Amino acid sequence: MSSPVPRSVLDAQIEAMLERVNEHRERRAGEIRTKAAAQSLEILRSARTEARESLHRAVARERARMAQSLRQAEARAELESRRRAQLETRTLLKHMWEKVAAVLESRWRNDAERSEWIQAAVGEAAQLLAGQSWRIEHAAGVSAEDRRGGERRALTLGARAVEWQLDAQLAAGLRVRSPGACLDATVAGLLARREEVEAAFLSEYRALGSARLPGRQAAEPAVPSVAADGP
């Protein structure tokens, strides 16, 4: 058996060099893998952070959009509620104006209510016309008892004298005249202050909790209108 051929110094050097190259390559490869893994981890972490922030922004935008939509819906609902309320109010007032004159005329034809009407008008007139002579122009239906009661109250409250005069053109009510002034307690006079009449009616209607006007008697205005006038 022949003995092995000894390696030359050059072969040994080459082998050693190759081993060093392999070691360096393995070390470098390991460093690259480690760095790549760290980079991958950082990229993943950054991606998760960006995705989370993007989700938060998307959720915030959606919440803002929903909040805006809700505000718009509430505003539309409020406008619609106001529109319906205004329509209901207009309808109520329309029915009231259609009925109130007839209601007042009906009250004038009732003996007790006509007497109260005259007494109230005389009381209002006394605040304006005390110390003067009065001419009371009235619609048909005033009885002798009405005149006596009205005149007695007028004189008690400061009227100097009272003259009664029928005005056949009046459907209901009376006017109290003296030089320079007139208190109008006719139907037209009672309804002359339109805004006050409507406000009083709506106030009473809502206080009663009524749902609608048809079938319900309209409210009667309580305060006669006062206007400056001649005798």
Q: What is the pLDDT of residues 121-152, one digit of tens each?
A: 999 999 989 899 999 999 999 999 999 999 99
Full strand arrangement of the beta sheet holding 225-227: 161-166, 133-138, 173-178, 181-186, 225-227
Q: Give residue 153's pLDDT band: very low, low, confident or very high (50, 70, 90).
A: very high
Helices 111-129 and 144-156: crossing angle in degrees, nearest 10, is 30
Nearest to 121 by CA among 110, 131, 108: 108
Residue 118 · residue 176 · CB < 8 Å: no
Strand extents, DSSP E, 17-160: 133-138
How many Cβ atoms are within 10 Å of 181's Cβ, its own excluded? Answer: 17
Is residue 138 within 8 A of residue 110, CB to CB? The reply is: no
Phi, psi of 210 (to 5 degrees): -70, 150
How far apart CA 126 and CA 144 sit, in angstroms, is: 21
In this predicted model, which residue has the larger pLDDT, 19 or 153? Answer: 153
CA distance 190 to 222: 8
Please tell me whether residue 79 adopts helix, strand or coil conformation. helix
Mean pLDDT of the residues in the chain = 84
Percent with pLDDT over 70 in the chain: 87
List Cβ<8 Å contacts ≥24 apart for 28-32.
Answer: none
For residue 148, the tally of other CB atoms under 10 A from its CB is 10
Can you give the pLDDT at residue 114? Answer: 96
Instruction: Say which DSSP state 217 is in.
Output: P
Residue of 218, 224, 221 whose CA lies nearest to 197: 221
What contacts 168, CB < 8 A, 6 or more positions away? 140
- Cα-based torsion angle of the residue sequence 203, 208, 213, 214 in order, rounded to the nearest 10 degrees: -160
Q: Which of 169, 174, 164 minimizes the C-alpha distance to 116?
A: 174
Question: Among 142-146, 148-152, 197-201, 212-216, whose mean pLDDT is lowest?
Answer: 212-216
DSSP state of 1: -
pLDDT at 49: 87
User: By mean pLDDT, which of 134-138, 203-207, 226-230 is the weakest?
Assistant: 226-230
